[in-house]
Amino acid sequence: MPILEALNKLKKSRVVPFDVPGHKRGRGNSELTDFLGESCMSVDVNSMKPLDNLCHPVSVIKEAEELAADAFGAKQAFFMVNGTTSAVQSMVLSACKKGEKIILPRNVHRSVINALILGGAIPVYVNPEMNHELGISLGMTLAAVAKAIGENPEAKAVLVNNPTYYGICSNLRAITELAHQHGMLVLADEAHGTHFYFGENMPLSGMAAGVDMASVSMHKSGGSLTQSSFLLVGGAAVNPGYVRQIINLTQTTSGSYLLLSSLDISRKNLACKGKEIFRKVSQMAQYARDEINQIGDYYAYSKELINGDTIFDFDATKLSINTLNVGLAGIEVYNILRDEYDIQVEFGDVGNILAYISVGDTHRNLERLVSALAEIRRIYKKDKTGMLQYEYINPEVLVAPQEAFYAEKEALPLEQSGGRICSEFVMCYPPGIPILAPGEKITAEILDSIEYMKEKGCFMTGPEDMDIKNLNVLREG
């Protein structure tokens, strides 16, 4: 763990800090030091010769990157401290320049579309199939990707979610081989797939499938601190030096050594103990799934959904639970769990909740979740008539995202915006998949969906108007 070792060596030295940060190892901010602890504050330091430099690593960070690349089976690994958002954006900006096309599913995280706004690439959306009973969008079919490639042979890249927030995996190897046959790069958003690299009997990881770049949220299932991630580069088609230049356009020049060391430590932990860790996680998730499915009305789904196409594989560590037959929207169950039972699950949407299971969980806490869900069903169950069955709506993209975002615009009341072209985002967070993105037509169906989600208590975000009573649309004429 080169970064950790360098920090420990620094702590033992008698270096007098006349550099930033100004709290000077915590001595200048006693309240913060009391809260975080002296151990933490003493290693919140700036780049210096013994600690290397994140923007241009030549020593301990370079060595840590090489160890991470080896652990993930990658050609190069970059330490990312601006979150996986930064990794995703760097990946897209490295693959596509202004005006170039990228093929991607529409149910992507907003960070992907943000990259299109920043760089000016043009999206070619492959609308995912839907499971209407569960109300979830699925993976991209190989046939749909082939069609998009055939219609857009000049596209530079194909982006794949591996997996989706719910645990759905596309046929990543086949999509990768198809894209490479047509000279296109393959980018994998693996924000929820860190464990694919280290567990047993997991869906295929991006590097194993031969993708060119993958963004990996170590802080989700990998155990590192929030906001720390890796960007991985695969084969010879991508120049790592150019990727680093792209990363340095947006990533901080003051990389946090708390985040960097957490990546270094977590990488070592997964490389040495990953199989054992994720075997336990899988067992806990299956135990909870079995218990929840015995309650009645809830459906905790898993690998039985696999169909070899839209659901090529499923991440069984995901405890995704459909709530529609209880007569409650997922967000309603989410809120009841939080407000009445002090249980915080990852997210709730129109028809589902996701409870994120990790090595830090215990059977006792899982039993508490199961008991709470059983009691919620007993107390709150109602007729599901009139409930919205699904969340994803195929968009009508009329203007490129960058053009729409920066165009002349005007604010209209939500109910009067139908038929116009949106110039901003509207989404539930999490998961952060846009209901509307810049350049898309606002339809009556979308407006109904937004109102329904607001009514059910989804945390809506994106628009300039924080109350989402108005939307910015392209000015006509």
| DSSP labels, 428-461 | ETTT--EEE-TTBB--HHHHHHHHHHHHHT--EE
The per-residue b/e assignment along 218-235, b for 16 or more CB within 10 angstroms, e otherwise, is bbbbbbbbebbbbbbbbe
Q: Is residue 38 part of a domain?
A: yes
- Average pLDDT, stretch 246-250? 96
What residues have CB less than 8 Å from 278, skipping those under 6 apart? 195, 198, 199, 200, 202, 317, 359
Q: Is residue 394 part of a domain?
A: no
Residue at a domain's end among 315, 347, 380: 380
429 and 363 co-located in one domain: no
410 and 316 co-located in one domain: no
293 and 236 co-located in one domain: no
Condensed to tens digits (0 to 9), the pLDDT of residues 39-63 reads 999 999 999 999 999 999 999 999 9
CATH number at residue 40: 3.40.640.10
Enclosing domain of residue 260? 2-269
372 and 448 co-located in one domain: no
Residue 432 has pLDDT above 80, yes or no: no
CA angle 26, 57, 92 (to 5 degrees): 105
Residue at a domain's end among 321, 346, 380: 380
176 and 122 co-located in one domain: yes
Q: Is residue 415 part of a domain?
A: yes
Q: Is residue 389 part of a domain?
A: no
The pair of structure tokens assigned to 428 is 């539930």
- Average pLDDT, stretch 346-365? 92
Q: Is residue 464 part of a domain?
A: yes
316 and 184 co-located in one domain: no
Query: Confidence band (pLDDT; 50, 70, 90) for 210?
Result: very high
Q: Is residue 387 part of a domain?
A: no
Q: How many domains does the chain have?
A: 3
What residues have CB less than 8 Å from 20, skipping those under 6 apart? 46, 254
Q: Is residue 109 part of a domain?
A: yes
82 and 224 co-located in one domain: yes
304 and 431 co-located in one domain: no
Query: Confidence band (pLDDT; 50, 70, 90) for 390?
Result: low
34 and 20 co-located in one domain: yes
Residue at a domain's end among 211, 245, 269: 269
- Average pLDDT, stretch 57-86? 97
465 DSSP assignment: S
Q: Residue 303: what residue type? A: K
pLDDT of residue 255: 94
What residues have CB less than 8 Å from 371, skipping those under 6 apart? none
Residue 68 has pLDDT above 80, yes or no: yes
326 and 447 co-located in one domain: no
Q: Check if the beta carbon of residue 251 is closer than 8 Å to that of residue 86.
A: yes
375 and 407 co-located in one domain: no
190 and 230 co-located in one domain: yes
CATH number at residue 464: 3.90.105.10
199 DSSP assignment: S
204 DSSP assignment: P
Q: Pick the closest to residue 309 from 152, 433, 172, 182 (CA basis).
A: 172
d(CA 251, CA 147): 36
Taking the model in full, what pTM does it have?
Answer: 0.94
List, as one string, the DSSP characters of 106-153: SS--HHHHHHHHHH--EEEEEPPPEETTTTEE----HHHHHHHHHH-T
